[in-house]
Amino acid sequence: MNDLGQDLELRLVRYFTVVAAHQHFGRAAADLHVAQPALSRQIQRLEKYLGTRLLDRVPQGTRLTPAGQRFLPRAQALLQAARQAELTVREEAETERITIGYVEDLVITAAVRELRRRYPDAEITTRHLSCRDLGVLSDKRVDALIARAPLPLADDDVFTTPLYEEPRMLVVPRGHPWADRPSVTAEELAGKEAAPCPFETTDWTSYRILGAGLSPIESYEDKLELVASGGAIAVLPVGDRRSSLRPDLVTVPIEGAPSSKVVLVSRKGDPNPMIRNLRLVAGAVLTAPAA
């Protein structure tokens, strides 16, 4: 029995096609940037709506039921038709529009203000993101992303514009042996073990929490709390001022560490003219914060 009075949700259809492609709930959840239990519940909602089971769990992952095999090509066609309808309307619309995603501590107000001044009739929106939301660019929920490199995005899929660089600093709790140092060196930090993070792709990432035996830490506030309690030390860009809001933390310059790079990223081949406009504006007005 389906949910009477409710229309079929395209989001649930998309979730089903991703699970079918991966044949595994865990990999599909990672691809969709959702929790696996939540993904399982959404697939169950779709199956309840359709009145039939679409996927069976097997030791290797999942497999399509006969009903799922019949539904899959129709689901793919449905998503394609919806996307084509959206693109057609966007192409015919007279109003220019852009959604700009930005992450963590970055402040993009100057670029947004200047973009609105130059293009007063355009629809310009912003979206604050966490590191777990980086899929919004490939999912086309944002048109451009301003973030710190490196990003877990394939170079063949995106166009990257460097905006500015800034040095890194060490954050330690008050009373730490390094708290009164005028600086520390990158070599002194080289032997420190970093907490695992799915977005770490180089030795020096935008944010590092250093401490032996750490588990993955997602919340920025939890990271600072861990540092303040003496359980770890952190490496942050100097432009990240959030640690200065805590009187129990001290920042120390780092000598010899590569700089943190802030970039603007967009999808290759995107015809939206506002992306080029944003690129020009951001390059002109966004600069590294004063130390």
What is the crossing angle of helices 25-32 and 36-50, to 10°?
100
Sign of the Cα torsion 269, 274, 279, 282 reads negative
Q: List C-alpha distances in Å: 1 to 4, 10, 140, 240, 243.
A: 8, 19, 33, 52, 53
Does 5 have pLDDT greater than 50? no
Nearest alpha carbon to residue 227 among 149, 172, 182, 268: 172
Convert the pLDDT of each residue in 132-187 to its tens digit. 676 788 888 899 999 888 787 778 889 999 999 999 899 999 999 999 999 999 88
Does 61 have pLDDT greater than 70? yes
Grade residue 213 by pLDDT with cuts at 50, 70 and 90.
low
Does 208 have pLDDT greater than 80? no
Average pLDDT, stretch 201-206?
43
Tokens of 65: 């039921």
Say how far apart CA 83 and CA 221 lie, in whole Å.
Answer: 38
* Proportion of the chain above pLDDT 70, given as a percent: 84
Amino acid at site 33: H
User: Across all residues in the chain, what is the average pLDDT?
Assistant: 84
Q: Which range, of 10-24, 236-250, 262-276, averages the lowest pLDDT?
A: 236-250
